[in-house]
Amino acid sequence: MPELDPLYTADEMRTAEARYPGFPATASELMERAGAQAAAVAEHECIGALRWTVVCGGGSNGGDGRIMARILESTGKDVRVVDATAGEAELGNPDVIVDALFGTGFTGTPRADAAGLIERMNASPARVFAIDLPSGVDASTGEVAGAAVRADATVTFHGRKVGLIVAPGRFHAGSVHVADIGLDHVETAARLATPDLLKSVPRRREGDNKYTAGHVLVVGGSRGLTGAPSLSALAAMRADAGYVTVAAPESLLPVLEQRLLESVKRPLPEDDGSLAAGAADTVVELAAKAAAVALGPGLGRGDRARQLVARVLGELELPVVVDADALYELEPASWPGPRVLTPHEGELARLLGRDSKQIAAHRLASVREAAERFDCIVLLKGADTLVAAPGGSIIVVSLGLPSLATAGTGDVLTGIIGAFLAKGMEPRLAAAAGTVAQQRASVEAPQRAGLVASDLIDALPRVLG
């Protein structure tokens, strides 16, 4: 799909190189191009820098660095080449350090001597420019097992590597520049979403009515948590759903009536503030008229809430996006319809029985494991939001701003995905496109500091327009 750019693993890059005419005899030709491209990008990034130190390892990445050093020297730069294979470690006093220590083939933890050299690069006041990806970052996963270079900028060849986009590797890369060295593209298991993915979202057409434009049922809310379902409902409306019904405990309806003008409110039976036994019956009845369900925002974690979640997921054939409290103590089951789970790292840790730090360190592997275990689409939220499908395919969405790190933005995402599911989008693409819309709204919103979740809702019509 043109709306999805390739993200390469080390093996996929080796496949692309192997298809180059005459390879491996022509490997030196590719290396010469890579070194020249690296020099050109680095000079543009570091205008006015005169003193350069190029730290070279023994592989092809080091070869790229040596070619880059030769070209920089030919333009009058003062260039020092540090040969890590010979144990050299003196960096000098450069304006720029070029990291050409490890390339895409690196995995695991750097040896002690290499780790020490990496730490020296990180401690230097000079700008750091990485070739292909920062040394110490796994190109195929983004994992960082030990010392890793923190670059100000990275030039990568042919296409972006997974490790430059997926955390924690993304936090080491700085600004990323892609340089063409003449390779043909190959199919990749991971793809990077572009804003063009929103073109695939169905819009209201002539002849639509409020139901055929997409009817979303939002199920959630509990005492003190009326904001979450309100945000989801408003986001679904602004994401172009034609009709939104909110099912919430009966005592919350006066609050929801004040907050939600356009949505229809339906009471769920409750007992002293907690959901009563008949709540699930009501939700199943309401879902008969809906096209998708957004389940969980502010729902609470009591026994009745868990029973409601289990029944909704176990009986409804229509698509359900599952968020927040609906994820609590969720177990894999054979569900009759499409399901999209939308955990953050802490929620995914609970689903997999792990620590959240383990999830953060192994984001790609964790979301793939969850997609296989629950046999559905799993969306792991973050600066690099990962959308995984059973079978291993991944869509990465990395289009937003740090301002998204605020309460309620996940509820907004749930509403958007619910709207896109109600419009008939395939669940994997609905999840990815919903994330694109949410993240682009963070860019369109006038706030940078102090953004709140409702600011995203206000920006959605411009994003989708």
Average pLDDT score, the chain: 96
The per-residue pLDDT for 344 is 98
Contact 64, 70 (CB under 8 A): no
pLDDT value, residue 366: 98
The closest alpha carbon to 121, from 167, 158, 131, belongs to 131
Which pLDDT tens digit goes with each residue over 378-426? 999 999 999 999 998 999 999 999 999 999 999 999 999 999 999 999 9
pLDDT single digits (tens) 108-138: 999 999 999 999 999 999 999 999 999 999 9
Could you tell me the pLDDT band of residue 448, with boundaries at 50, 70 and 90?
Answer: confident
* Span 206-221, pLDDT tens digits: 889 999 999 999 999 9
pTM over 0.85: yes
Contact 307, 283 (CB under 8 A): no
Measured CA to CA, the distance from residue 90 to residue 176 in angstroms comes to: 27
Q: Is the pLDDT of residue 427 over 80?
A: yes
Query: What's the distance, CA 365 to chain centroid?
Result: 13
pLDDT for 274: 76
Which residue stretches of 250-355 are H helix?
A: 253-259, 279-287, 303-315, 345-352
Run of H or E including 320? strand 320-322
Beta-sheet strand order (sheet of 175-179) = 78-83, 51-56, 96-100, 127-131, 153-157, 175-179
In whole angstroms, give the CA distance from residue 191 to residue 176. 16
Name the strands in the sheet holding 292-295, side by side, starting at the edge strand that comes first in the sequence: 4-7, 190-193, 394-397, 385-388, 377-380, 339-341, 320-322, 292-295, 215-219, 243-249, 264-268
Name the nearest CA neighbour of 64 among 163, 115, 132. 132
Residue 83 to residue 143: CA distance in whole angstroms: 26
Write out pLDDT tens, residues 318-363: 999 999 999 999 999 999 999 999 999 999 999 999 999 999 999 9
pLDDT score recorded for residue 118: 98
One-letter identity of residue 360 = A
Q: How far apart are CA 392 and CA 386, in angstroms?
A: 12
Distance CA 253, CA 221 (A): 10
Distance of CA 292 to the CA centre of its chain: 23
Residue 309 main-chain phi, psi, to 5 deg = -60, -45
Distance of CA 423 to the CA centre of its chain: 23
pLDDT tens sequence across 81-93: 999 999 999 999 9
Cis peptide bond upstream of 446, omega within 30 = no
271: confidence class by pLDDT, cuts 50, 70, 90 = confident
How do 385-388 and 394-397 pair as beta strands?
antiparallel
Name the residue type at position 375.
D
Q: b vs e for 284-293, b when ≥16 Cβ sit within 10 Å of the residue's Cβ?
A: eebbeebbbb
| Helix, strand or coil, per DSSP, at residue 382 | coil
Residues 6+ apart with CB under 8 A from 401: 439, 442, 443, 448, 451
Give the model confidence (pLDDT) of 144-181 as tens digits: 999 999 999 999 999 999 999 999 999 999 999 999 99
**Has residue 1 got a pLDDT over 80?**
no
Q: Is the pLDDT of residue 462 over 80?
A: yes
Give me the phi and psi of 78, to 5 degrees please.
Answer: -85, 110
134-135-140-142 Cα dihedral, nearest 10 degrees: -60
CA–CA distance, 420 with 430 (Å, rounded to integer): 5
- In order, the DSSP letters of 384-422 are SEEEE-TTS-EEEE----GGG-STTHHHHHHHHHHHHHH
Judged against a pLDDT cut of 80, whether residue 17 lies above it is answered with: yes
- Distance, CA of 414 to CA of 259 (rounded, Å): 18
- 384 touches 396 (CB < 8 A): yes
